[in-house]
Every structure is written in structure tokens, then in C-alpha cells.
Amino acid sequence: MRLVFFVVLSLTLLFVDARFKYLESTRKVVSIVIYPLQRLTSLPGIAWQQLSVYFKTQSNLLQENAQMRLQHSQDAAQLKLLEVLQGENAQLHRLLEVPQRINYPMQMAEIIYVERDVFKRKILVNKGNQANVQLGQIVMDDIGIVGQITRVYPWLSEVTLVTDKDHAVPVEIMRNGIRAVVFGAGNISEMALRYMPVSSDIQNGDVLVTSGIDGTYPQGLPVAKVVSIERNPAYPFAKIVCAPMAGVDRHRYLLIVAGAPQLPPRPEPEVVEDKVKGKRKIP
């Protein structure tokens, strides 16, 4: 009976509500009363959903961050490579301009090996007998003298740098034309102007260029710059330290100067008979 009663009541309420809308206000009041309970019952689902979204977002952010760091590293490497290529390109442009300033045949060479011994200032370039490279030819960059060919192989050549210990280059001071000889000191950034009197007219900043007297080095190529002078009256010679002008420890491409002025042969020393002792001597 109770079931029948409530079924009839429910059908009646449904009919009245659908026909006359009498229960609309009641429904609103009930929805307001039970709204807190609905929110309370939905909180676990909402919290779980938000927690899932948080962890998913966090994982995505970590992956994106890792990808961005990797991309940044790749971009930085590409940027460094681009800077290196730009530097090489600029240096190659400067090398191409050198033959326009110096009227000697030249050919470009690339550094292949560097001497591992720190006490030897030598490099190997990728030009040898097959490129008509000869002993004694000079090697330079876009600024000045780098070294001299001291050994030739079929496809390689050994270059002794001007900073090699006791490697000598005849020079003159551009400012006043004083002739001298500058020697390597075994240090990549240091050379020495030896046997110059204390009273010599040499100043800091003087540029030393090849004199061309020996016929090996063309005249007027920059070699070094005076950076330090010590004059002690107790010694006959001044201590003059120079820095090489060319990039002896930089650049990958160099120029081999294929020719220099041909000078007449040096005359042989005269031999004079010593009639008293019966010996031959050179005056």
C-alpha cells in the first residue's frame, strides 16, 4: 500500500509540475540547500583531476625545458661554429688582398699539423713538392712574416716559425731605417733584437720590417714590434724585446711566397799567401 501510495503521489507531482509549474520554486530552494553537499561530494574528483593535470603539466614542462636546453646547446654550438667560419672567411679575404699589395707569386696553404714539442716552433702545411714548394721560401699571413720553409715533403712542408729559438730575420726599423737582426726567443709571443748598442735610436712601438738584404725575405714585410727596451750602461748592448706582428699561433690558412729578388752570388773570400810562415790565410 505504501508503494502504491508513493507511486501515485510521484505521478501526481510529475503531472502537476509538468502542467502547472508549481514545484519550480520548491526545486530552486532544494537545489540551494543541497548545493554545498554537491560541492562537497565533488571535491575529491575535482582534486584528483587537478592533481593529474598538475603532474601532467609538470612533466610536459620538464620535457620542454630539457628540449629547450638541448636546443640552446645546439644553437650555441652552431653560433660558435658560425663565428669561427666568419673569422676564417674574414681572414681568407685579407689573405686574398695580400698579393695585391706584394708583387710576388704566392699560393695558399692550410695548417695540417702543429709540432707537439713546446720547445720547437714548427708547423706542417698541406703543400709540398707537388706544389713546387722549395726550401727557404717564406710563409706569411695577412699581417706579416710567420716563418720559413725548412723541410719539404712530397705533400707537406715544415715551417719554422720566426719565434723559434735562434731563428734570425734581417730587419730594419721602419721609422729610421736602422738595420738589425731579430731572433726568436723560443716563446710564441716574444722575439729579441740582439747586438744593438745602448745608444741606438730605438723606441718602444717601433715596427721592424724585413730589409730584403739577404735575398730570402722580400723587403718591407712586417716582422715584429718593439715592446720593451732596457739600457744598462754597464753592458755594451741594450736588451730589446719584441712581439711578432703576424699571428704565429693563430689562423688556419697562410700564404707561401714563391719568390724573392735574385741577388748576385756572394764573392768568395780572397786567399793571401803568407810568405814568412808559408801558410795561407783569409784577410
Q: How far apart are CA 249 and CA 236, in angstroms?
A: 33
pLDDT in tens, 190-216: 899 988 998 889 999 999 999 888 777
Burial of 223 (0-12, 13-18, 19+ CB in 10 A): buried
> Hey, which residues does 158 pair with through a beta bridge?
124, 151
pLDDT in tens, 90-137: 777 777 777 666 777 888 899 998 887 767 778 999 999 999 999 889
pLDDT in tens, 209-265: 998 887 778 888 899 999 999 988 888 899 999 999 988 888 888 989 876 556 666
Report whether 139 contacts 149 (CB < 8 A): yes
Q: How far apart are CA 257 and CA 282, in angstroms?
A: 37
What predicted TM-score, i.e. pTM, was given to this entire model?
A: 0.63
Q: How far apart are CA 214 and CA 170, in angstroms?
A: 7
**Cell numbers of 141, please?**
699571413
Share of residues in the chain with pLDDT > 70 (%)? 88
pLDDT in tens, 167-186: 899 999 998 989 999 999 88
Superfamily of segment(s) 106-257: Rod shape-determining protein MreC, domain 1 (2.40.10.340)
**Cell numbers of 86, please?**
666568419
Segment 275-280 shows an average pLDDT of: 51
Q: How far apart are CA 201 and CA 26, in angstroms?
A: 115
Q: How far apart are CA 209 and CA 273, in angstroms?
A: 42
